[in-house]
Structure 1
Amino acid sequence: MTVESAREPVPACTAFEGARRIASGPLAEVALAAKRAVERGAGVLVFDDATSLPIELDLRGSEAEVLARLSPPAEPEAPRGPGRPKLGVVAREVTLLPRHWDWLAGQPGGASVTLRRLVEEVRRAGEGRDRLRQAQEAAYRFMAAMAGDRPGFEEAARALFAPDRDRFAALTEAWPADIRDHARRLAAAAFDAPHSA
């Protein structure tokens, strides 16, 4: 038994009623399914599929009211004063040693251009590692929430971080089908990511 390597498009979120997956897809659809389950007296957990962080939903009121709360009101654009046009640049404080400032001052384009270039180079160099770490964290977060007390959880977590696809599949086989399948789908992203040291 192996974990699927082909990845399907990841829905926005997934809701579970106990060990049963009740909805997966756009937040609005999942929120309505969660509301119906809660109205039946069920406990529901909703997870963001990219991070596996829980999504807190205010399910009070009518379905229309629930949906209205999902969309935050648009903030009016603040009037701009004189100066540079808005380029999406965010000013923040950076603390460096004097020798770093001296080096940056001597670079073509100045400190800001050089720092942006350096950040982009490091970001590109670490993309594979970052994707692997984020996928492992998302899978682990879901597993801890939904299968933390299941047999084989600790060993499955070790297999996830190893990464050992076949061992992970074997250790999760006895879990409830919906939890197992969702954990495997999340873990597939970790197993498929480049495994650089």
Structure 2
Amino acid sequence: MTTLPTYTVFQGQRRLLTAPLHDVLTFLKGDFQRDPTLPLLIFDDQTGRTTDFDLRGTLEEVLDRHAPAPPRTGPGRPKLGVVSREVSLLPCHWDWLESHPNGASATLRRLVDEARRADPAAERRRLAAQSADRFLTVLGGDLPGAEEASRALYAGDGAGFRAVVEAWPEDLRLHALHLAAPALQEVADDT
């Protein structure tokens, strides 16, 4: 089962909505029409980065504009899901890749697959910590204990992280805990 990516809308330190893209755009389009000067921050929950949407036009135009791009077709084997993109390497890297059986592309795919399988739990923790930290840098960077929260987050210290953010504004604290949960939970599960 694939879950839809979510976005979170904050006004100051107050969370207004966490929802999939369609619902967020519908919400923003409604609020934007009422008061276009409303200071909102929108976060991509998967990355923790702020994002912005072009809300000009009708709701249907906004939804169409921000709909996921269709799969690219072109060189390669699109029926298999192969997508051709450019990779820039030094000549010594190309020489090394081409010295392996099946060529450079097969070697790169194998290396990426091996890296992904090495420790998927560690990768999920890293991505969750990174997402939570980006969010906290924007909305909680000036709050007391922000640096300690970041250190606890990257150390996988759930109790320390929770202790630091406990005094923070409720919506900010709850969303930070939500984003950080995979980073902190899996550390506890792995021990």
TM-score w.r.t. the length of structure 2 is 0.76
* Correspondent of 1:127 among 97, 120, 124: 120
Seen in structure 2, the aligned counterparts of structure 1 residues 72 and 157 have a Cα distance that, compared at 3 Å, is: closer
Shift of 1:164: 1.0
Seen in structure 2, the aligned counterparts of structure 1 residues 160 and 59 have a Cα distance that, compared at 3 Å, is: same
Unmatched tracts of structure 1, length 5 or more: 1-8
Unmatched tracts of structure 2, length 5 or more: none
Aligned to 2:129: 136
Partner Cα distance (2:106, 2:72) in 1: 31
| Residue identity opposite 1:28 in structure 2 | H
Shift of 1:37: 3.2
* Correspondent of 1:148 among 123, 134, 141: 141
CA contact (8 A) 1:159 1:167 kept: yes
CA contact (8 A) 2:73 2:83 kept: no
TM-score w.r.t. the length of structure 1 is 0.74
By relative contact order (CA 8 Å, sep 6+), the higher-ranking structure is: 1
Partner Cα distance (1:26, 1:102) in 2: 43
* Correspondent of 2:12 among 13, 18, 21: 18
Shift of 1:59: 2.1
Shift of 1:89: 5.1
Q: Note the aligned Cα RMSD (angstroms).
A: 3.3
* Correspondent of 1:47 among 33, 43, 46: 43
Q: Taking every aligned residue pair, what percent have the same amino acid on both sides?
A: 40
Task: Note the 1:25-64 alignment, pairs <5 A.
Answer: 25-38=19-32, 39-40=34-35, 41-64=37-60
Matched, 1:169 2:162: yes
Deviation sequence 1:11-44 (CA, Å, 0-9, x none): 5111112221111111121122223334334211
